[in-house]
Amino acid sequence: MKQYSDLEYLQLSKWKKFCYRILCFFRSIPTALKNFVFGIGRFFKNAALAVVREFKDIFFTFKDGDVHTKISYAVMGWGNLARGQILRGLLFLLFEAVFIFYMVVSGGYWLSMLPSLGKVGPGKIYDPIYDVYVYQYNDNSFKILLYGVLTIFFIIAFIYTWRLNVKQNKIAEDIIKSGKPLKSGRDDLRSLVDDKFHKTLLALPLTGILIFTVLPIVFMILVAFTNYDGSHDGFINGLFGWQGFENFRTLFSWKGANGHSYAATFGEILTWTLIWAVFATFTNYFLGMFVAMMINKKGVRVKKLWRTILVMTIAIPQFISLLYVSKMFAKNGIVNGVLLDLGWIKQAIDFWGSTANNGLLARVLVIVINIWIGIPYLMLIATGILMNIPADLYESAKIDGASGWKQYTKITLPYMLFITGPYLLTQFTSNMNNFNVIFLLTGGAPTNASASWASGNVGYTDLLITWLFKITTGEDAKYYLASVVGIMVFVVVALITLIVYNRLPSVKNEEDFQ
């Protein structure tokens, strides 16, 4: 492809400019990917160097340190206590005690079982006296995996704290050497509401995220490497164990009946998911902006009323409105009833059941209904932004004789796009994972006959996220497969995000905006 200089570019026609920009975008993808890969490489290199540095530091602190420092290597907080920093010392000591206690009481058990995920499975024996079968449940693979991971988290936290404890000794020694006083417990507390205030603020949110977001994600990634499913639940009906990359192989190479594999099903659903995300995002975006502009136009009356009516779809919980709308479009629902009565159609339309053209009707309909839900949000956002556009821009445009359309393409749209770039991106990714709309409206219907065997009865409107749900609640409850699919979904979404995110103008200039 020819690369244009700035001057040449300016001389191109509009259409050519557009094509050129698109080409540029695609051409930049390999570079972006390359940078990404190199970025990872750099990251690992730096990490390795940092580790070496840390070890050196630990070693020399010990070698050069005084006796308190040396004792601190075994008894955490000793140095702090000896030097009068009672609060810190006690916290360190307490942490060490709790850690040792935990590891002895249960952490050790979980850790030791982690490699095997359990040794003794369930069993049943006949009890002749009571004439019943009695069941015995032994190791619990699920708990072993869960608490094993938690224990590892905890060990990492301990190592980090221990390292901190060592570092503190060194710093304290340096400060004493320079003749300054050490910080007291009161100083520490004060700094928590002042220069270390961010730590106070972040402590709680990050703890929550660690336990309720990071831990589950780590766990679910690990599940992708086991055979955890409905017939190996780890406790009641059989242990599960490590499978290596088996499940990934299943997803990508299992040739099923009729030559239709998981890979093909995955591809099919992914394609629709992307189509859906594009349409759901952009139809809402432009139509929402359009509605906002209509309402905001000078001379339009009762603006508040229009806004209020639209906003009701936000306020009313989706499980009510969507379930109802879904029923309205049933073959014997109200919509068909009205259309038949009006004589506009001769036969009832099977909106959700028609499999013609890969369920085109249902697919279009979910996108249309999604507009019904999505416009109000965009309307609100666009209203706010449009009001912020300096009015003199339009004035001068008018003086130059620009038409309404021209004003829109030259002023409104660029302004909106610039400001809502990141919002569009998050909308796109959240539409890819838009569980509610699909689940409540169609539940995935109509059935995709050729893909249906690939676990969970895939339908034409199924997104990857609803497929995941179907896999976990389907007849075999293949959690491991859901997990593999989940990881693949993540990879796709993350790739899109990474590529787009880094080229958004408003992200690049985070500081400028102020």
Partner 1 sequence: MKKVLSILLVLAMLFSLAACAGGNGGGENPSGEAPSGETPTGEAQNGDSPLAGTYDIKVWVAEAITDLTQKQIEDFNNTNTDGIKFNATVQAVGEDIVATQLITDVEAAGDIFIFAQDQFARLIQAGALAQLGEGASQIVKDNNTPEAVAAVTLNDGLYGYPVTADNGYFMYYDKSVIPEEDVDSLEKLIEDCEAAGKYFSMELQTSAWYLASFFFATGCVSEWTIDDDGMATALNDTFDSPEGLIAAKGMKKLLDSPAHVSSSQASDFAAGSAVLVCGTWAYDDIKAILGDNLGATDLPSFEVDGEEYHLGSFSGFKLMGVKPQTDVTRQAALHKLAQYLTGEQCQLERFNERSWGPSNIVAQQDPAVAANAGQIAINLQAPYATPQGQISGAWWNIAKVIADEVKDAADEEGIQAALTNYSQKCNALIGVGGYVFVGAWNGWDNADMTHKLTEEDGVYTITVEVEESDYMGGRIVTATNWDTDHGAAQVTTGADLIDMEAAGGDNNIVFKEAGNYTVTWNADTNEITIVKN
Partner 2 sequence: MREKKTVKRHLGLRATNAISNSVIHVLLVIISIIWLIPFVCIVLQSFRLELSGPVGYVIPKQWGFDNYAALLRTDFKQWYINTFIIALVNAALQTVIVLCMSYTLSRFRFKMRGALMRLMMILGLFPGMLTMIILYRVLKDLGLTEANAVPGLILVYVASSGMGYYVSKGFFDTIPKSLDEAARVDGATRMQVLFKIILPLAKPIVIYTILTAFMAPWGDYVFARYISFENPVGMNVAVGMYKWLTLDQINSNYTMFCAGGVIVAIPVTILFLCLQRYYVEGVTGGAVKG
**Any alpha helices (H) in 180-332, and if so which ranges?**
185-193, 197-209, 215-223, 246-253, 262-296, 303-315, 318-328
CA of 146: how far to CAs of 25, 111, 220, in Å? 43, 10, 10
- 257's CB contacts (< 8 A; 6+ apart) are 453
φ, ψ of residue 162 in degrees (nearest 5): -60, -45
Q: Which is nearer to partner 1, 200 or 271 (CB)?
A: 200
> Least separation, in Å, of the C-beta of 154 and partner 2?
15
Decide if residue 308 touches partner 1 (CB under 8 A). no
Span from 19-27, 153-161, 311-319, 406-414 in contact with partner 1 (CB under 8 A): 153-161
> Least distance from C-beta 431 to partner 2, angstroms?
13
399 binds partner 1 (CB under 8 A): no
Minimum distance of partner 1 from residue 340's CB (angstroms): 7
Choose among partner 1, partner 2, none what residue 420 binds, the Cβ cut-off being 5 to 8 Å by kind. partner 2
What residues between 478 and 507 interact with partner 1 by CB under 8 A? none
Q: Which of 468, 441, 424, 427 is nearest to 270 (CA)?
A: 468
Check residue 35 for interaction with partner 1 (CB under 8 A): no
- The single residue among 164, 278, 386, 397 that binds partner 1, judged by CB under 8 A, is 164
| Contact by Cβ (8 Å): 488, 251 | yes
Picking from 307, 447, 276, 295, the residue whose alpha carbon sits closest to that of residue 369 is 276
What span, in angstroms and rounded, lies between the C-alpha atoms of 414 and 411? 6
Consecutive H or E run containing 362: helix 356-388
Provide the minimum distance between the beta carbon of 427 and partner 2 in the complex, in angstroms, as a whole number.
10
Tell me the closest approach of the beta carbon of residue 231 to partner 2, in angstroms. Answer: 16
Does position 139 interact with partner 1 (CB under 8 A)? The reply is: yes
In whole angstroms, how close is the CB of 401 to partner 2 at the nearest point?
Answer: 11
Q: Which does 284 bind (CB under 5 to 8 A by kind): partner 2, partner 1, none?
A: none
* Residues 338 to 377 in contact with partner 1, rule: CB under 8 A: 340, 346-348, 353, 355-356
Q: At 363, which amino acid appears?
A: R
What's the closest the beta carbon of residue 37 comes to partner 1, in angstroms? 23
Q: Is 178 in the site for partner 1 (CB under 8 A)?
A: no
Among 79, 81, 233, 482, binds partner 1 (CB under 8 A): 233
Among residues 11, 28, 200, 403, the one that binds partner 1 under rule CB under 8 A: 200
Give the one entry of partner 1, partner 2, none that residue 309 binds, where binding means its C-beta sits below a cut-off of 5 to 8 angstroms depending on kind. Answer: partner 2
The C-alpha angle with vertex 296 and arms to 290 and 298, in degrees rounded to 5, equals 125
Q: How far apart are CA 333 and CA 326, in angstroms?
A: 9
Tell me if 244 contacts partner 1 by CB under 8 A.
yes
Distance CA 350, CA 55 (A): 69
How many CB atoms within 10 Å of residue 37?
Answer: 10
Rank residues 143 and 167 by Cβ distance to partner 2 and give the closer one.
Answer: 143
Q: How far is the CB of 22 from partner 2 (least distance, A)?
A: 24
Tokens of 192: 């928590």
Contacts (CB under 8 A) with partner 1, residues 64-123 = 87-88, 91-92, 94-95, 98-99, 102, 105-107, 109-110, 120, 122
Pick 90 or 380: Cβ nearer partner 2: 380
Q: Which is nearer to partner 2, 81 or 465 (CB)?
A: 465
Going by the DSSP 8-state scheme, the letter that residue 127 receives in this structure is: E
Pick from 134, 193, 217, 491 the residue near partner 1 by CB under 8 A: 134
CB of 235 to partner 2, least distance (A): 11
Among 34, 42, 249, 406, binds partner 1 (CB under 8 A): 249
For residue 183, the partner it binds in partner 2, partner 1, none, with Cβ less than 5 to 8 A by kind, is partner 1
CB contact at 8 A, 172 and 271: no
Q: Give the long-range contacts of residues 115-121, CB within 8 A, separation 24 or more.
A: 115/242, 116/241, 117/141, 117/144, 117/145, 117/226, 117/234, 117/239, 117/240, 117/241, 117/242, 118/144, 118/234, 118/239, 118/241, 119/239, 121/238, 121/239
Largest CA distance in the chain: 100
